[in-house]
Structure formats: C-alpha cells, structure tokens
Amino acid sequence: MDSPWLTDAERAAWVRLVAVVELLPGVLDTQLRRDADVSSFDYFVLAMLSEAPDRTLRMTALARQTNATLPRLSHVVQRLESRRLIERFPCPQDRRATNARLTESGWTKVVETAPGHAANVRANVVDALSPEQITQLTAIADAILGRLDPDARMSGTYNRYDR
C-alpha cells in the first residue's frame, strides 16, 4: 500500500503531538522525583492501587491498567515493596496469582504526593487550554486511543472519570 505524505497541516499537528509526548513525561517525572522521590511510573502504579477496591489488584490487572509488561511491573513493585509502599501476597481466589496492595505508608505517599502532581498537571496542561479545548482534547485522545487500544485493554484506566 502506498501511503500518502502528510499535508503541511497534518505534519504541523503531528510534530507538535510528538513534542508533547516527548516533553510532558520529563516535566511530570521531574516534579514527582523532586517532591516525592518517586518516578512518574511509580506514582501511576501507586495511584492505580489507591483507586482499587481495598487498594488491591492482581498483578495482571495492575499490569493491564498501567500498560506494563509483567517483568517491568514486577521490578517496579519490588522496588516499591522494599520502600514498604506496596505489599504482595497470594491471591485468595487463585493461589497461582499474586496480588499487590497499597500499604498504609503507600496510601500516605499518594495522599501527600497527589496535590503537587495535580498542580503540575494543571500548570503545564489544563491551564494552557480553554474548557472547549479540554473537551476537544478528550475527543482527540479517544479517537487516537480507538486505534492504539482497539481492544480497550486500558479503558478501565482512561474511562474511569467519564460522566
């Protein structure tokens, strides 16, 4: 199949999206490391557990929600476990599976970290956009996610705040 080149307008949009995708993780990570001594991915794992029933998820479900491979997630969870922010234990319903649970220290870390993280997201993304643009950004992201996540594997993560 012969793919057409991008138009000037498409290329302008594309390179801007690439710049956001490249720059935003560093901005988020810098603040989280400075203020909470966690990486952006560490915080994402902690946040997903903080919102789960009993602050507990099977490792496979946590991997799905964070789009991580099990080996990567296991490494991160092991590091967070050594800091006593997460604990792992056999799943009571399936002894072959492992659950991860946010500890009280982990919950405290999330509660203390969330305001600074939210302020950083607001300062660098939300406040740069009008309410109409926020609505457009949601629609744009949904359209792209429809292609990137056609099986909606991560939809539990990105649809949980829809009204």
Q: What is the pLDDT along the chain (163 residues), one digit of tens a residue?
A: 677 899 999 999 999 999 999 999 999 999 999 999 999 999 999 999 999 999 999 999 999 999 999 999 999 999 999 999 999 999 998 888 999 999 999 999 999 999 999 999 999 999 999 999 999 999 999 999 999 999 888 887 888 888 7
Residue for token pair 């496979």? 60
Q: Is residue 148 part of a domain?
A: no
Q: Is residue 5 part of a domain?
A: no
CATH number at residue 95: 1.10.10.10
Nearest to 91 by CA among 45, 53, 57: 57
- pLDDT for 3 equals 76
- pLDDT for 156 equals 79
Q: Is residue 42 part of a domain?
A: yes
**Structural domain that includes position 43:** 23-128
Q: Is residue 97 part of a domain?
A: yes
Q: Is residue 133 part of a domain?
A: no
Q: Is residue 153 part of a domain?
A: no
Q: Is residue 70 part of a domain?
A: yes
Q: Is residue 12 part of a domain?
A: no
pTM for the full model?
0.90
Question: How many domains does one find in the chain?
Answer: 1
